[in-house]
A = this chain, B = another copy of it.
Amino acid sequence: MAEPIDFYFDFSSPYGYLVSEKIDALAAQHGRKVRWHPILLGVIFKTTGSAPLTLQHPAKAAYYVGDFARSARFLGVPFKQPSRFPLPTQVAARAYYWLHGQDCALARQFAHAVYRALFVEDRDISDPETIFEISAKNAIDRSILEPALQSPEIKARLKDEVDQAMARGVFGSPTVIIDGETFFGADRLPQIERWLATGGF
């Protein structure tokens, strides 16, 4: 059986959200599973000297805000530009990794719910209360989740994931790695599809 592919993303990344709505089905068509890795772009950008697209030069920021929505329409994915953007995502990422240790399928469901809360419902996913509400809707017990998010193990797990991502050359979100081949950006979905179909080109 072929190795799972790796999907690195930040919960505040619009193009990460677009890929999150496509990658599992695309991989499944080619007999592959996907390992999801929420990471923190804030940490990575400090190392690479990058900045979020909407905090760059006004011409660039304006283009990308338009392109997020247009790319979503192009891919048939619902999208609304969040009013708080970008925003911190460590609570969501820590919750994901804790959940993943309990129940992989539930963690995946939670990740979709977080992304849709930000990019469809315009909710403030940096607020722990939002994360607890999303969790409750997915039958996750707040009285267990809340202390877990403060545990040294979960903090270390997220830090490790970010470090490992950087060690693999990840510099932005979304990044998909297939058998050692790296694809950056939602606009690489057609290349990802061909790579999965052909084993390389």
Contact = CB atoms under 8 A, between A and B. Distances in A.
Contacts of A73: 201
Given A185-B187, A187-B185, A59 B70 contact: no
Contacts of A59: 48, 166, 169-171
A145 B71 CA distance: 43
A57 B63 contact: no
A63 B182 contact: yes
Contact of A184 (B63, B74, B170, B194): B63
A90 to B, nearest CB: 22
**Size band of the interface chain A makes with B:** 20 to 34
A190 B60 CA distance: 21
A151 interface: no
A71 B182 contact: no
A108 to B, nearest CB: 27
Contacts of A182: 63, 66
Contacts of A70: 191, 201
A50 interface: yes
A6 to B, nearest CB: 15
A122 to B, nearest CB: 22
Interface string A51-75: 0000011011011001100110110
Interface string A180-201: 0010110110110010000001
Interface string A135-177: 0000000000000000000000000000000100111100000
6 smallest A-B Cβ distances: which pairs?
Answer: A187-B187, A48-B57, A59-B169, A59-B171, A60-B171, A74-B191
10 contacts: A48-B56, A49-B57, A50-B57, A60-B172, A63-B169, A63-B184, A71-B191, A73-B201, A74-B194, A190-B190
